[in-house]
Chains A and B, each alone.
Chain A
Amino acid sequence: MTYRLAPIDTSTFTAERGASGTDVGDLTVIGSVVQRSDARGHVTGRTEFFEDVAPPRLAHLKMHRSARHHARILDVDLTEAVAVPGVLRILTHADIPNNLYTPLKLIGVGPDDEPVLAVDKVRYLGEPICAVVAETEAAALEGAARIKVTYEDLPPVFDVEEALKEGAPLVNEYHGQNHFIYEGHHCRRIRFGDVEEAFARADHVFEWRYQSAPIEQAPVETTGCVVVPQADGRLRIHSDTQACFFTLDNTALILETPFNTLRIVGGTVGGGFGGKVDVVVEPVACVAAMLADRPVKFVYDRAEEMQVSSPRAAERIIIKDGVMNDGRIIGRKVTLYVDAGAYSRHSPYGTTKAAAHLPGPYSIPNVWADCHCVFTNRTPSSAMRGFGVTIADFALESQMDRIARALDLDPLRLRLLNAYRDGDLKAHRKVAEGTALVEVIQKAAEMAGHELPEAYRRMSSTTREGL
């Protein structure tokens, strides 16, 4: 078997290790092999995913979705759809007890800004308008296809900077402007020292712009749930959510029901990567199950997964640095835009994470940042693997490489020179502790055969000596 064990390198931070035989002395867990507890179920096909549940009398739910990016809804005609054989029920916004929500309400983020089913307006292509419940999947699809919506088009806005301009079309009326407000401020801000003064005395000033596209998590199992009404009136929800209790609480708020009337069976997720953190299928499936008094399955097809499930946000990041001839960065100014799409979902939080990550793992005495969470007529974006942080890192580390190239410096030495050390005050007024960037760079250099001069090899995260 060619599975490789990574040996543990005990040469760094020796002072922080205890004697052999003590708990801190024998750090043996990382690098050791432990069989996955779920592997046997996976290789025998006995792991139960939500869609493997097949209650009798299962009904199927399919969505009629917006065909426009931004439009007023003038009329919804269900006549032909209700006549499709096998269609049991068609849900509109009027059937949802508490139609307006936002998932981070649970941690105090507001306002509620998203309808479960569209009311008078659609704000992105694919927004759900009506839910068709039918005996078979085919009948539900047929019913959904026969719903006729009359729209009055509104001008859409797709670009974050366009959206913030005066006179831009208003995407989300619940906010009243095209950006999220952070404690009375138009964006999440960092103010540390004086960047303008730093730029004035810097030997060089570099400003570059970075842009990322939205990224779909693309789990192999699509988002979905099966809701089964229980004899005692409670609902059992089999779901592939990544966040069982978060889903339960949000669903209860939307259903206007006590939390204990719902039960989630979950934890088995066929790939999530952040894409199954929003609460988008369970609430409407629960309403359908209650109204039809039957088990209901609502699962995205592959096209829905790609088009309407919330991706990683597109970000635009502009970084301006004041740099001395020796490579020391004395000022960093960052303007960052997160494209939340039409609704908040997890983006206000993602934008805060981006701000918290600035100016990267470097000690820079003057930092200024404006991080905007912007609403556009794009698919709502949300969580994905380190959202807020990953794209910021792409921009920050590209910036470091470009500075090194412009000044003809070794990119690793440039980073070692600017790397934060234990005890440094970060831009958010937190003292850095447990930093290990210096050692990681030294080790990476060694493994890659990249030569560092003795002075750089002697640097440490625990002291500013040698700087």
Chain B
Amino acid sequence: MPSQIVSLIVNGEQREFIAAPGATLLASLRESLGLTAAKRGCAQGACGTCTVLVDGRPEASCLVAVETVAGRSIRTLEGVAAGGELDEVQSAFVDCFATQCGFCTAGMIMVAEALLDANPEPSEEDVIEAISGNVCRCTGYRPIVIAVLEAARRRREQVVSR
């Protein structure tokens, strides 16, 4: 199988690159496009650190062969609040101490973005369900659940906090 040219819309921009045979979406983002926010925790779909949004839906990018998403719209953490101002989810993660080592954070935030886009008023159970595919070994999850609920509240009230 030869390498092939793949084009994606990444964070709103058309990007084209050469994908090695078998390259995953995660490897393409990190190695071909230099977008390293999404992380490899397991490379087997079990930890969620590599989560990005594909056409708005959270996907474990380590399991996605990149040519299968050619032409689709990909959103990564780098594309959240790209202007430098934190969005509600990011600022709530800072304020609620939802990060410790930070390795799971990109995946958690992308899952939260997708959840709040679909459901602006999630219950605690909704949040727990949404992050159930994402492993965090540091925080014990509680601060993350609190942060996502807080982000939903801020977004509803359009509270922008830094």
Contact of B94 with A36 in the complex, beta carbons under 8 Å: yes
Distance in angstroms from A159 CB to nearest chain B CB is 30
- Shortest beta-carbon distance, B18 to chain A, in Å? 14
B43 at the interface (CB under 8 A from A): yes
B127 to chain A, nearest CB (A): 13
Contact status A43-B76, CB under 8 Å: no
B96 contacts the other chain (CB 8 A): yes
Q: Which of B22, B86, B95 contacts A44 (CB 8 A)?
A: B86
A458 at the interface (CB under 8 A from B): no
Task: Look across to chain A and name the residue whose beta carbon is closest to the beta carbon of B110.
Answer: A45
Query: B31-45 CB contact bits vs A (8 Å, 1 = yes)?
Result: 100101111111110
Given contacts A218-B137, A302-B41, A302-B43, contact A270 B103 (CB under 8 A): yes
Nearest residue, chain A, Cβ from B77: A45
Interface pick from A49-57, A76-84, A339-347: A49-57
Contact A45 B78 (CB under 8 A): yes
A165 CB–B CB distance under 8 Å: no
Indicate whether A43 sits within 8 Å of B135 (C-beta atoms), given known contacts A2-B146, A3-B95, A302-B43.
no
**9 pairs from A and B in contact (CB 8 Å cutoff):** A2-B149, A3-B146, A35-B94, A39-B93, A39-B97, A44-B80, A220-B39, A270-B103, A302-B42
Interface residue tally on A, bucketed by range: 35 or more
- Residue A40 interfacial (CB < 8 Å): yes
Alpha-carbon gap, A271 to B143, bound state (A): 17
For residue B5, CB closer than 8 A to chain A, the reply is no
> B interface vs A, CB < 8 Å?
20, 22, 30-31, 34, 36-44, 46-47, 49, 76-78, 80-81, 86, 89-97, 99-106, 109, 135-138, 143, 146, 149-150
Among residues of B, the one whose C-beta sits closest to the C-beta of A273 is B137
Q: How far is the CB of A241 from chain B (nearest CB, A)?
A: 14
| Cross-chain contact B93 with A270 (CB below 8 angstroms) | no
Nearest neighbor of A138 in chain B, beta-carbon distance: B22
B106 touches A45 (CB 8 A): yes
Contacts of A1 in B (CB 8 A): 92, 95-96, 146, 150
Are B44 and A302 in contact, CB atoms less than 8 angstroms apart?
Answer: yes
Q: Which residues of B contact A272 (CB under 8 A)?
A: 101
- Point out the residues of chain A lying under 8 angstroms from B76, CB to CB: 45
A302 to B, closest residue via Cβ: B42
CB neighbours (8 Å) of A370 from chain B are none
Are B102 and A219 within 8 A (Cβ)? no
A196 at the interface (CB under 8 A from B): no
Given the known interface contacts A220-B49, A302-B43, the answer about A36 and B97 at a Cβ–Cβ threshold of 8 Å is: yes
Give 6 closest A-B pairs by Cβ, nearest first.
A45-B37, A42-B102, A270-B103, A45-B77, A52-B36, A43-B90
- Contact across chains for B93 and A49 when beta carbons are under 8 A apart: no
Q: Which residues of A300-326 are within 8 A (CB) of B? A: 301-302
Tell yes or no: A466 within 8 A of B by CB: no
Instruction: Kindly state the separation between the CA atoms of A44 and B80 in the bound complex, as whole angstroms.
Output: 8
